[in-house]
Amino acid sequence: MLYFTKWKAALVLLVCALGVIYAAPNFLPKGTFATDASYLPGKQINLGLDLRGGSHMLLEVDINSVIRERYEALGDTIRSTLREERIRYRPRDAGLNGAEVTVVNSDEVEKARDLIRNVEPDTVMSGEGNNIVVSYTDQARKELVDRAISQSLEVVRRRVDELGTTEPSIQRQGEDRIVVQVPGLDDPSRLRAILGRTAKMNFHLVNEEKTASEARATGLPPGTMILPSADAGDRAAGINEYLIDRRVVVSGDNLVDSQPTFNEGRPVVSFRFDAAGGARFGDMTSKNAGRRLAIILDGEVISAPRINEPILGGNGIITGQFSVQEANDLSLLLRAGALPAPMQILEERSVGPGLGQDSVEAGEIAAILGLVFVVAFMVISYGRFGVYADIALLINLILVLAVMSVLQATLTLPGIAGIVLTVGMAVDANVLIFERIREERNNGRTIINAIDAGYRSAMSTILDANLTTLIAALVLFSFGSGPIKGFAVTLAIGIVTSMFSAIWVTRLLIAVWVKRRRPTELVI
């Protein structure tokens, strides 16, 4: 029956009113209704990075390097334990599967195994014959990875915060990935520069018994390594690498602050240690006056000054051939701390603010024109009923905006396309109903009967047709990334809201018309 109970009509109107209230903030200046409660109106739709401009970066933390490092440390412990008990062994390189040693005498294997068993908790021992492999349990390995990722997240957050942009989003994705989204960033190269570095800084002593090239020719003295120089001044002087003592004399972990500053008119980076670091630094510089101190960042010597006098205050500066920008970045990285493991940028998408604005404008024009075309065509095709469908279409658009504001869904450029597509497709339900009404009328039914039968028979078709499209939208949502997700979101929301508006809103409008005017002829 074409009959609305009062509460049903009230419910339809209520939904429409809520839609208007929740969608309204999008047409008012931002912050008109300042509210933090997510269920209250006042929220605007989130614009995606492709519309507001900004950078999206997908980073991968090199988990293997964390694990390898841990196994190297574990190997050190095992070897010193064996040495204490005078068990002879052949060392093995630590891999990803565990720390490994080979015991030389077969009759000492059991004793070695007993000793190693208690070296570290949460480890399991395996290996055949004289080989002993110690590895972490799956649980311990997972905790190790989780800790490394959460540390990385923290460091990345501190670094991005230093850029001073608003609302950056930093999230873990999957096991070992981090997604960084920074809206409104003009220059993504800066972000790239500060995220692409581990920023592990340590102080080592330069070994001056030999030069690096002599050492290369005659063999490295024990406990040393050769590292490249990143200092332009060194390279100008023909020094490309240094022979460095492996031992870390002071670790960068003890840094508490770092600032860019100027020394003799050149940009330099100042740093300050905590109490323990300051004491160690003072002690080290007193004992090694006259030697060269290598400041090593991510495996490169950034500066290797000679220690002229003990540095006791826990403060120092790093000189080098820095530009102002480089000094800024380096101090930023030192302040934010080192990453527990190197990271790689797997994917980067950056949109300048100009393009985003252009896209929004183009999308708006397209949406408005598409709407005008469809609205006009519906009126031409269905007369009065077309007007009702158009009202439902507008309500549908309002509902899409309202739902997106409430859910704080992100609107992207493909998302706008999704809305435009919804405009075209939302009238489908009405087309189905109206065509059906037309057929029923042509079959000789009375007005009310024809309308009623039209709605009733079209129902299952509308449901089937919309659910299949919804399936495609949901699959898109679960597999898509960024912008595509935005498309799936608007499409899915549009399908659901259009079922409401096309069925209930038009039905209410038609019911009111029939009741008031008592039409004698059905023009459709």
Hey, which residues between 171 and 210 contact another protein (CB under 8 A)?
188-189, 192, 196
Could you say whether residue 223 binds another protein (CB under 8 A)?
no
Q: Which is nearer to another protein, 104 or 324 (CB)?
A: 324
Q: Which residues contact 138 (CB under 8 A, 6 or more apart)?
A: none
Kindly provide the b/e burial profile for residues 150-162, where b requires at least 16 CB atoms within 10 angstroms of the residue's own CB: ebbbebbbebbeb
Residue 441, φ and ψ in degrees, nearest 5: -65, -45
Could you say whether residue 483 binds another protein (CB under 8 A)?
yes
Q: Which is nearer to another protein, 293 or 333 (CB)?
A: 333
Out of 32, 173, 240, 468, which residue is the one contacting another protein (CB under 8 A)?
468
Q: How far is the CB of 480 from another protein (least distance, A)?
A: 7
Beta bridge partners of 275: none
Instruction: Give the separation between CA 248 and CA 92, rounded to whole angstroms.
Output: 23
Out of 167, 365, 446, 456, which residue is the one contacting another protein (CB under 8 A)?
365
Helix (H, G, I), strand (E, B) or coil at 54: strand
Q: How far is the CB of 282 from another protein (least distance, A)?
A: 39
Which 270-289 residues touch another protein, going by CB under 8 A?
Answer: none
Tokens of 117: 């068993």
| Cβ(519)–Cβ(10) below 8 Å | no
Q: How far is the CB of 44 from another protein (least distance, A)?
A: 22
Could you say whether residue 466 binds another protein (CB under 8 A)?
yes
Could you say whether residue 262 binds another protein (CB under 8 A)?
no
- What is the distance between the terminal CA atoms of the chain, rounded to a whole angstrom? 19
Q: Which is nearer to another protein, 173 or 261 (CB)?
A: 173
Q: Which is nearer to another protein, 215 or 522 (CB)?
A: 522
Could you say whether residue 239 binds another protein (CB under 8 A)?
no
Which 416-445 residues touch another protein, going by CB under 8 A?
Answer: 416-417, 420-421, 423-425, 427-428, 431-432, 435, 438-439, 442
Please choose, out of 133-141, 241-249, 266-274, 470-478, the segment that lies near another protein by the rule CB under 8 A. 470-478
The helix or strand, by DSSP H or E, that contains position 57, with its residue range, turns out to be strand 54-61
Helix (H, G, I), strand (E, B) or coil at 130: coil
| Cβ(434)–Cβ(389) below 8 Å | yes
How far CA 441 is from CA of 91, 217, 508, in Å, comes to 92, 100, 20
Q: Which is nearer to another protein, 55 or 258 (CB)?
A: 55
Q: How far is the CB of 56 from another protein (least distance, A)?
A: 9
Instruction: Give the separation between CA 474 and CA 64, rounded to whole angstroms.
Output: 35
Out of 239, 355, 391, 514, which residue is the one contacting another protein (CB under 8 A)?
355
Which 108-127 residues touch another protein, going by CB under 8 A?
Answer: none
Out of 287, 475, 512, 515, which residue is the one contacting another protein (CB under 8 A)?
475
CA angle in degrees (0–180, nearest 5) for 193-195-197? 75
Which residue type is seen at 74? L
Instruction: Give the separation between CA 494 and CA 490, rounded to whole angstroms.
Output: 6
Out of 72, 83, 481, 519, which residue is the one contacting another protein (CB under 8 A)?
481
**Side-chain half-sphere exposure of 33, counting CA atoms within 13 A:** 18
Which 443-462 residues touch another protein, going by CB under 8 A?
Answer: 457, 460-461
| Cβ(254)–Cβ(268) below 8 Å | no
Q: What is the DSSP-derived secondary structure letter of residue 518? A: -
Q: Which is nearer to another protein, 308 or 460 (CB)?
A: 460
Q: Which is nearer to another protein, 401 or 425 (CB)?
A: 425
Instruction: Give the separation between CA 468 and CA 462, rounded to whole angstroms.
Output: 10
Q: How far is the CB of 52 from another protein (least distance, A)?
A: 13
Beta strands per DSSP E along 274-342: 293-297, 300-303, 315-318
Say which residue the tokens 């030192």 belong to.
334
Which 138-167 residues touch another protein, going by CB under 8 A?
Answer: none
Size of the site for another protein (CB under 8 A): 80
Could you say whether residue 377 binds another protein (CB under 8 A)?
yes
Q: What is the DSSP-derived secondary structure letter of residue 229? A: B
- x/- map, 12-51, another protein, by CB under 8 A: --------------------------------------x-
Could you say whether residue 349 binds another protein (CB under 8 A)?
yes
Could you say whether residue 298 binds another protein (CB under 8 A)?
no
CA angle in degrees (0–180, nearest 5) for 379-385-387? 50
Could you say whether residue 369 binds another protein (CB under 8 A)?
yes
Q: Which is nearer to another protein, 22 or 385 (CB)?
A: 385
- x/- map, 53-72, another protein, by CB under 8 A: -----x-x------------
Instruction: Give the separation between CA 132 and CA 81, rounded to whole angstroms.
Output: 14
Could you say whether residue 352 binds another protein (CB under 8 A)?
yes
Instruction: Give the separation between CA 9 and CA 507, rounded to whole angstroms.
Output: 10
Could you say whether residue 211 binds another protein (CB under 8 A)?
no
Could you say whether residue 521 binds another protein (CB under 8 A)?
no
Could you say whether residue 259 binds another protein (CB under 8 A)?
no
Q: Which residues contact 237 (CB under 8 A, 6 or more apart)?
A: none
